[in-house]
Amino acid sequence: MRTFLSVVLVALVAVLVPASAVASWADRQLGDADRYTVAMAPLARNPAVQEVVVTRAARAISPQIDAGPFQSGVEALLGEALRSFVGTPAFRTAWDAANRAAHAAFLQALTTGDGDAVTIDLAPVVAEVKGELVAGGVPFADRIPETRVTVEVMEYENLGALRKGFRMLQIAGVWLPVLTLAAAVAAVAVAARRRRAVVATGLGVALGGVLLAVAVAVCRRLTLDDLPPDLDRAAAEAVYDALTAFLRTTAWVVLAVGLGAAVAAWLAGRLRRTP
């Protein structure tokens, strides 16, 4: 009976490990503005994301500039200015501020039910580029009006279900890791042969890490396959990878810890038997 109970607890640990990681991710990564902004910050240097910003901004600004026969030249200068700007520290600062605002809008949507997507407002980028064009003496640059340009990061259709699920994950993010640790300790404590139980528990933890990695990979494929055809796939991949970096790192750490504990317990048993 003790062995059976220990096996059940090890299996429970293998299931709870990925669930705990996802709950902690939702609570500490998606639910925290600072961590969310830090996770999204590297995307400001990603070429695919930069190209999306340049394309969206140029597409929004160009029709608002009437330069007559000089239209093509002004559009070329605009594209060069945008590509130059996205490589500057000023763009990275504007990107961080835009992501912080997007995170606030996301949390507001989860609490008030307003909105149907997380979008990044690139109006500060347009304002900076306009200032550079005007300072450089580019014709008609002063005619660029205040323009709202957005890049969609996340879309949600059923906001009510998302709100409930997110709230449950936030609550679970507090107690689920504690429950996982308690199950691992109990699996060893109730076992008739505790060294073997430590090996089995370590393997169960490692299996949980593998399950987490597989889940992240499968969700990545499903998410990208469900994208509208007009969205840039490379940029979407970069956004998904940035948001789930915590989960991928956690999967490797959990796998290493589980295998390390299992190997250490197995070696300890072998060494004790050696005369």
For residue 211, is pLDDT > 80?
Answer: yes
pLDDT digits (tens, 9 = 90+) for 96-121: 888 888 888 777 777 665 555 667 77
Six token digits for residue 56: 């969206």
Domain identity same for 153 and 101: yes
User: Would residue 36 count as lying in a domain?
Assistant: no
Co-location of 21 and 60 in the same domain: no
Residue 271 has pLDDT above 90, yes or no: no
Residues 123 and 201 in one domain: no
- Residue 245 sits at the vertex; the CA angle it makes with 93 and 210, to the nearest 5 degrees, is 180
Kindly state whether residues 240 and 148 are assigned to the same domain. Answer: no
Q: Do 56 and 140 fall within a single domain?
A: yes
- Whether residue 132 lies inside any domain: the answer is yes
At residue 260, does pLDDT exceed 70?
Answer: yes
CA distance 190 to 250: 28
Q: Is the same domain home to 214 and 143? A: no
In this predicted structure, what is the pLDDT of residue 16?
93
The Cα 160–Cα 173 span in angstroms is: 20
Identify the pLDDT of residue 267. Answer: 87
34 assigned to some structural domain: no
Question: Rounded mean pLDDT of 19-36?
Answer: 87
Mean pLDDT comparison of 142-146, 205-209, 220-224, highest-scoring range:
205-209
Q: Rounded distance, CA 227 to CA 221, Å? A: 10
Q: Could you tell me which residue, 239 or 151, shows the higher pLDDT?
A: 239
Task: Please state, for a pLDDT cut of 90, what percent of the chain lies above it.
Answer: 24
Task: Say what the pLDDT of residue 190 is.
Answer: 87
Q: Tell whether 217 is covered by a domain.
A: yes
The answer to whether residue 104 sits within a structural domain is yes
- What's the pLDDT at 153? 63
- What pLDDT, on the 0 to 100 scale, is given for residue 250? 94
Q: Are residues 62 and 85 in the same domain?
A: yes
| Residue 274, in any domain of the structure | no
Alpha carbon distance 261, 265 (integer Å): 6
Domain boundary among 97, 126, 157: 157
In a domain, 142, yes or no: yes
The whole domain housing 254 covers: 2-29+160-266
Both 22 and 73 in one domain: the answer is: no
Residue 170 sits in the same domain as residue 79: no
With a cut of 70, say whether residue 138 has pLDDT above it: no
Residue 157 backbone dihedrals phi, psi, to 5 degrees: -90, -45
φ/ψ bin of 37: left (φ > 0), alpha (ψ from -120 to 50), beta (otherwise):
alpha
Residue 159 has pLDDT above 70, yes or no: no
The pLDDT score that the predictor gives to residue 258 is: 93
Rounded to an integer, the average pLDDT of 29-36 is 86
CA dist 239 and 245 (Å) reads 10
- Of 98, 133, 157, which residue constitutes the final position of a domain? 157
Are 49 and 139 members of one domain?
A: yes
Residues 89 and 164 in one domain: no
User: Average pLDDT of the chain?
Assistant: 82
Considering 39-53, 159-173, 229-243, the range whose residues carry the highest mean pLDDT is 39-53
Please indicate whether residue 274 or residue 51 has the higher confidence score (pLDDT): 51
Domain co-membership, 176 together with 136: no
- For 225-257, the pLDDT digits (tens) are 877 776 778 888 898 899 899 999 999 999 999
What is the average per-residue pLDDT within 216-229?
A: 84
Report if residue 242 sits inside a domain: yes
Assign 120 to helix, strand or coil: strand
**Cα Dmax for the chain:** 93
Burial 172-196 (b: 16+ CB within 10 A, else e): bbeebbeebeebbebbbebbeeeeb
d(CA 96, CA 92): 6
Q: How confident is the model at residue 10 (pLDDT cuts 50, 70, 90)?
A: very high
Higher pLDDT, 225 or 157: 225
Q: Long-range CB contacts (< 8 A, 24+ apart) of 136-140?
A: 136/81, 138/74, 138/77, 138/81, 139/67, 139/70, 139/74, 140/65, 140/66, 140/67, 140/70, 140/74
- Examine the pLDDT at 32 and tell me if it is beyond 70: yes
What pLDDT was estimated at residue 223?
Answer: 82
239: Cβ–Cβ under 8 A, 6 or more apart, which residues?
40, 43, 49, 153
Domain-ending residue, one of 125, 157, 189? 157
Residue 100 CB: number of other CB atoms within 10 A?
15
Count how many domains the chain has. 2
Lowest mean pLDDT among 6-20, 202-216, 217-231: 217-231
